[in-house]
Structure 1
């Protein structure tokens, strides 16, 4: 009898306790954190999300997604594991009174005091939310070590240095600097690479579009996509969001061609006044080389026994072309020139010229 009474009392106690929790559920200011897994799609960004009562509206509203380091992991198991850790820690913080709409300094100080009084339980900061993995001091240290945008770009450019040509590297650096200038003017609070978001880059690309063209805007996007891929590959950012920025349709601009009469007049003038520039133009016209490829040519790159020219092309490390007959007769006597000297220089054929490829191309463009 006593045993039955005891069990009944326990049952009543449990149901009463559950009823109280049920009442609290309706008064709770937040919804329990949930995991978004992109339906298992690893190409999508996975994250943690929750809602909290907005003090202005009195209604629960979706808060900022929490990514942390989730998307650095390449398997489902790893992503579920890290997100479940974040979920457990966030639930604890919300239960303790964390409020995304308020200053949580008091909560922070309370947690810090409790930790110092008890043991060395650690905390980690996950996009502004403190959790139990690394000490607060270590979290601050990690934030201080987070690379600024210029530092991150310099790192990516140092990686690219051994992967692309000098002109491409110079182009990358120039376009990155333009983005930095834009951010300093329009988003001065965006300092670190992890603060930089897709919307900031889209705004920058729109400014390029408005001041120049769709083609130039697309070129900026292509450059930044390559730089950000290096940052993702080296785990400085969680994902390369530039890949999700669409290319714009650009109308090709056709260059106006010279008439036969104009071309003859130009060649006739250069024959008397600038034979170096004339041959430079003929290498472009007859051998179909790009201006910068002509600027790279050294005397030794021309093999007159086989009538071929070998050069570094844009899409290949080494390329060979046959020199057409119409061009062979125009070449100077190469046997009298330094084999390691540049074929085209400001002072004539086969001279030394201490200038970068980009500057050499710029010189002949201006000369033309």
Structure 2
């Protein structure tokens, strides 16, 4: 007999609805309602295949309720606030500042920055390798402004993480979600210093700079050309995915329409 009453010989048929619910509760405790719902969908899909092949009698997972997942609003930073935060980080949090610059200039997500190892950073060829969201390993250009901020890491252990707790390089025996949460908590102290609300997050830096880049592209290119160039940089898999993302973060603002209201 194994954990939760599941026997090795009949593992699938020994799984009960209660077992799945307990697992989903564990996922919820460690992550979020959205991640828990995604896990439920994946398991339900597997169990539907098992039902279709008459391995189990019924797919009871599809009857487990979904939780209401309220999306987090990542409010963009104003240019003035960005300048103040950057000055504060220079004075007090140099490692965190470099972490955030990967969000701003390379448009990585916080957990993707946590995945970076020294061997993933190729400063000579100006590239980095990272496992992106729902994708295999991706190669991304390191822009010059990011290169200008990078310290000399040539002597570091190639297998060490780029970001350790209080320094660059070295081992860190913790899950990537725990490492991300560690930097999130460090940034919380910055938010407290500037009395920022919960809508301001580390993720907000990525949104802010993607919006900034798109608005600059809009000045020079047609909407389709601007989105095509941006998609190549951000790594979105389709134009529709990028358009949905830009709409979500209000990346494109209209010109002043006051004269039409007179």
Question: TM-score, normalization: structure 2?
Answer: 0.55
Task: Give 1:1-368 correspondences, 5 Å limit.
Answer: 151=6, 193-194=15-16, 196=17, 216=33, 219-230=35-46, 233=50, 237-243=56-62, 252-368=71-187
Root mean square deviation, CA, Å = 3.8
Between 1 and 2, higher relative CO (CA 8 Å, sep ≥ 6) is seen in 2
Query: 1:106-138 deviations in whole A, cap 9, x for unaligned?
Result: xxxxxxxxxxxxxxxxxxxxxxxxxxxxxxxxx
Tell me, which stretches of 5 or more residues in structure 2 are unaligned?
Answer: 26-31, 188-262
Inter-partner Cα distance in structure 2 for 1:224 and 1:280: 33
Inter-partner Cα distance in structure 1 for 2:41 and 2:169: 39
- Structure whose alpha-carbon radius of gyration is higher: 1
User: Is the 2:118–2:156 Cα contact (8 Å) retained in structure 1?
Assistant: yes
Using the TM superposition, give the Cα deviation of residue 241 of structure 1 relative to its aligned residue in structure 2, in angstroms.
3.6
Is the alpha carbon distance of 1:148 and 1:238 closer, same or farther for their aligned partners in structure 2, counting shifts above 3 Å?
farther
Q: 3-state SS of the aligned residue for 1:321?
A: strand
Query: 1:282-308 deviations in whole A, cap 9, x for unaligned?
Result: 101211111111111111101122211
Inter-partner Cα distance in structure 1 for 2:72 and 2:123: 38
Tell me, which stretches of 5 or more residues in structure 1 are unaligned?
Answer: 1-144, 157-191, 208-214
Count of residue correspondences? 175
Inter-partner Cα distance in structure 2 for 1:301 and 1:361: 18
Using the TM superposition, give the Cα deviation of residue 225 of structure 1 relative to its aligned residue in structure 2, in angstroms.
3.0
User: Is the 2:103–2:109 Cα contact (8 Å) retained in structure 1?
Assistant: yes
Question: TM-score, normalization: structure 1?
Answer: 0.40
Inter-partner Cα distance in structure 1 for 2:63 and 2:158: 49
Is the alpha carbon distance of 1:149 and 1:267 closer, same or farther for their aligned partners in structure 2, counting shifts above 3 Å?
same
Using the TM superposition, give the Cα deviation of residue 329 of structure 1 relative to its aligned residue in structure 2, in angstroms.
0.3
